[in-house]
């Protein structure tokens, strides 16, 4: 990828306490990504942070479906939906970005998952595949063409964001060691395969210059 600094952006996906050890939906080793992100962030003039921001009665929470358990799948009008433990509820510590995250140049914090009736993994498009977050239009309006993604979790919000970014016409790379995965029923291997097929580059933090 040879692009000017002005055309490149770092997208940090959901580096929130809810996905860290001790959070509502912890990702193993999730807190280990913070120093890696902090190390690569100064190399970017442009950065966007995303933040899962759910109402307490969100449709994806198992607690809102009596008799259902986390990680079961149910049918919803837009398709199958994994039920999750309650996490990243609006205004709670669980929803806060990690205190040690250092991306002071971030120009946008994009909140997603705030519509009660639809889940939202991707930073670009909600799970109904019809409701946009507006991120693609924002980046395009600013002349940004190349995206470097990192964050949590590799196989859900990062992968969905990467795939949607490619579909929107961006060049995309995912920094593997600045991500961690949930890996539910082989979801990590599938995510990397899907991203590779879509032309997403798989890189390491040492490759970011």
Q: Is 157 a catalytic residue?
A: yes
- Tell me the C-alpha distance between 37 and 115, whole Å: 28
What's the per-residue H, E or C state across 72-110? CEEEECCEEEECECCCCECCCHHHCECCCCCCCCCCEEE
- Tell me the C-alpha distance between 8 and 11, whole Å: 10
DSSP letter (8 states) at residue 7 = G
Q: Is 190 a catalytic residue?
A: no
Q: Is 14 a catalytic residue?
A: yes
Of the residues 150, 157, 164, 179, only one is catalytic, namely 157
Of the residues 94, 112, 164, 179, only one is catalytic, namely 112
Of the residues 14, 52, 155, 164, only one is catalytic, namely 14
**Whether 95 contacts 88, CB under 8 Å:** yes
**Beta strand pairing call for 108-112 and 79-82:** unpaired
**Residues involved in catalysis:** 14, 112, 157
């Amino acid at each position: 990828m040879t692009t000017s600094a002005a055309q490149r952006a770092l997208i940090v996906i959901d580096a929130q306490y809810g996905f860290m050890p001790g959070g509502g939906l912890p990702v193993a080793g999730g807190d280990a990504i913070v120093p890696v992100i902090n190390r690569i962030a100064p190399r970017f003039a442009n950065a966007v942070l995303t933040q899962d921001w759910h109402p307490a009665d969100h449709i994806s929470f198992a607690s809102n479906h009596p008799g259902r358990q986390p990680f079961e799948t149910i049918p919803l009008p837009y398709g199958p939906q994994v039920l999750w433990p309650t996490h990243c509820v609006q205004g709670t510590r669980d929803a806060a970005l990690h205190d040690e995250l250092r991306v002071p140049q971030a120009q946008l914090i994009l909140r997603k998952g705030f519509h009660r009736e639809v889940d939202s993994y991707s930073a670009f498009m909600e799970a109904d595949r019809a409701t946009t977050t507006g991120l693609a239009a924002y980046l395009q309006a600013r002349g940004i063409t190349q995206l470097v993604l990192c964050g949590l979790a590799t196989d859900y919000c990062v992968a969905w964001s990467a795939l949607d970014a490619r579909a929107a016409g961006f060049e995309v790379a995912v920094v593997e060691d600045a991500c961690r995965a949930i890996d539910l029923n082989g979801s990590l291997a599938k995510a990397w395969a899907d991203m590779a097929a879509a032309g997403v580059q798989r890189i390491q933090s040492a490759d970011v210059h």
